[in-house]
Amino acid sequence: MHDDLKKAIEVLQNGGLILYPTDTVWGIGCDATNPDAVKKIYDLKQREDSKSMLVLLDSDAKLPSYMQEVPEMAYDLIELSEKPITIIFPGAKNLANNLISEDGTIGIRVSSEQFSQQLCARFKKPIVSTSANINGEDSPQNFGQISEDIKAGVDYVVGFRQDETSNPPPSSIMKLGVDGQIQIIRE
């Protein structure tokens, strides 16, 4: 895992794309603060940049760095959730402009999975995480289901966890409003 982390960080620092395991499915990732790298993911996925992607962090302590205000309930939701949870926050900041939704929101998940958590911690920036598929195709549930086009389209493919065949569930998705309202998008 150490060599994978080192190589993945080098690729991220140079504006490249990685294919890596997360706490849900395998993801295509890049530096979430680099608009050119984010555009490469949209191009690879053949997806319009009006469809935002989420970012991973290694700690909820980093949330204030990427949004205007963190609703207090966000910390409770993260702490109490029994499965991965993506929270869509208002008032995104310090991220690539082409990553932030037109309404100013951003989806963030604090990862508890070993590799992606270490990757975020060592990279010291948020990392884009989007399913490893071309827009309109089914999301692969494990590494073996990822298309050759996606594998060939990234700059580095992480070796760690490639042999796993489990089908992890997707994250829950909730949207937090500035007024404290919670909207459940996916349970």
Judged against a pLDDT cut of 90, whether residue 167 lies above it is answered with no
3-state secondary structure 102-126: CCCCEEEEECCCHHHHHHHHHHCCC
What DSSP string runs through 52-99?
--EEEES-GGGGGGGBS---HHHHHHHHH-SS-EEEEESSB-SS-GGG
So what's the pLDDT on residue 48? Answer: 83
Q: Using the predicted structure, report yes or no on whether residue 58 has a pLDDT greater than 80.
A: yes
CATH fold group of domain 2-186: DHBP synthase (3.90.870)
Q: What is the pLDDT of residue 20?
A: 97
- Is the CB of residue 84 less than 8 Å from the CB of residue 23? yes
Tokens at residue 9, please? 């960080």
Burial status of residue 186 (CB atoms within 10 A of its CB: 0-12, 13-18, 19 or more)? exposed
State both tokens at 23. Answer: 């706490």
Q: In the chain, where are the structural domains located? A: 2-186
pLDDT tens by residue, 59-100: 999 999 999 999 889 999 999 998 999 999 999 999 999 999
